[in-house]
Amino acid sequence: MKLACVALAAFAQTAFGAAIRLDDSDGTPGLEPDDWTIVGQQAAKNHITFGDGSQGNFKIQLYLKDGLDPESKRRQRAERRRKMKNFAEKPLSNNTAILTNVKDYYYYGYIGVGNPPQKFSVVFDTGSSNIWVPGEACASDACTEHRRFDHAASTTFQTGAQKIQIQYGTGFIAGDIGADTVQVAGSLVLHNQSFAMTSLEDKTFEMPRSQFDGLFGLGFTGGAEGHVRSPVDTMLQQNILGEPLFGIKLFRGSQRGNGEITFGSYDHAYAKSLEWIDVYGDIFWATTMEGIFYGDEPQNYLYGADKVSAASGALSAEEKARASRKALLDTGSSLIYGDPFSLAAMSTRIGANPLSGELPCSALASLKPFHFVLGGKRFSMAPEEYVFHDPATGICEVQWMPVSEYLWIMGIPFLQSHYSVYDIKDRRIGLARMKQ
């Protein structure tokens, strides 16, 4: 995630990578961080503004339920939190845990750190490789608003001599590295797992923007900061997985509204439909990207792909892979990110404004799928999957944003469309269309 992927900090910016302001200029009383998730019928005067002004801002309106006084809203919030907490913290069978969907921006689940385990909500992120949680001594607002790890309360904690600093797209954390028992999905236990206890977190991780406490990186050790072993490589080393892989489902908010992560197995209902592609490198879950096509049209919208194709006769398979564009499958990125040339052409083709990404909602019915060629295989997104339709505002906009010319990030919109399986041992990714 580009809040979390260090290697991509210079290239990508997600919903976390822009400034966010909560405006309640009408003085509505009783507003708290989770009020913006309440959708009702009343026209809202409140809104959240994203952006720092350098690349333009956009607003998301806040809708409050009609006729509720502040005390009633507080009671509803408490009840909603209680139900969601009980639901999300209860692991399913077969080392499967629920992921809570926050408005399709990010998903978080729960882990336990220490003995006895201290619970933390974390983003399970295929775009990074470190675990970190707020430390007990951290006085940043982002820490005091969340759970903090008390190392003195754990009988298995081991102090480390290293300090760590991680600079994300616009976020920053610093802290100390320690090691302890980490419990995932209820019964999966990682012993002596290195993680960071933050002593400083910037505003990026404050509420209401970040409803999670910390981060659980699912990338490889090669992508970890601080020379520590990543948790997935620890799982492999300690032989605690039934199969050396994990599977992820991310449901859209309009459907089941949550997600699932399964360690050591996957949903075998998808076994026959999984398409396997090789991972490029030993850092994150990245692969090669050869093309983008619209409908049945022959034009390749991936900028620079023609140069690789033209020289392919003189290139070995390894040289061709090295010269091609790369795509990271990233459960921590809220959009699809790619080079501005390809995305502008794609937006223009479907009648969307290349700058704002907006298009008439009436055009949705006539749009065709986009096909992304990853690892030499084609994966499709339907119009309703690559265009976000906000019924509250009546606005339709594409779910992509320009960043690096060379690196693509296939974030949540793409992964909501595809069930994904990550083979840690054989370094490959399996993708299949999500079943409705």
Q: How many CB atoms lie within 10 A of CB 179?
A: 18
**Closest alpha carbon to 132 in 115, 147, 153:** 147
Count of CA atoms in the C-beta half-sphere (13 A) of 60: 20
Helices (H), 238-390: 305-310, 317-323, 340-349, 383-386
Task: Give the bridge partners for 369, in sequence order.
Answer: none
Contact status, residue 374 vs residue 289, Cβ threshold 8 Å: yes
Helices (H), 3-109: 70-89
Cis check: omega of the bond before 231, within 30 degrees of 0: no
- Annotated active-site residue 423? The verdict is no
Q: What is the DSSP secondary-structure string of 111-171?
A: EEETTTTEEEEEEEETT---EEEEBTT--SHHHHTS--B-GGG-TT-EEEEEEEEEE-SS-
Instruction: Show the CA angle centred on residue 354, arms to residues 419 and 401, nearest 5°.
Output: 40
Tell me the chain's radius of gyration from C-alpha atoms: 22
Residue type, 269: A
Contact status, residue 280 vs residue 321, Cβ threshold 8 Å: yes
CB within 8 Å of 192: residues ≥ 6 apart:
158, 179, 180, 181
Contact status, residue 298 vs residue 375, Cβ threshold 8 Å: no
- Report how far residue 102's alpha carbon sits from residue 36's, in angstroms, rounded to the nearest whole number: 11
Catalytic residue, chosen from 35, 176, 233, 330, is 330
Count of CA atoms in the C-beta half-sphere (13 A) of 280: 21
Token output for 360 = 């008439």
Catalytic residue, chosen from 125, 180, 339, 423, is 125
- Annotated active-site residue 24? The verdict is no
The rounded Cα 164 to chain-centroid distance in angstroms is 22
Residue type, 238: Q
Catalytic machinery residues: 125, 330
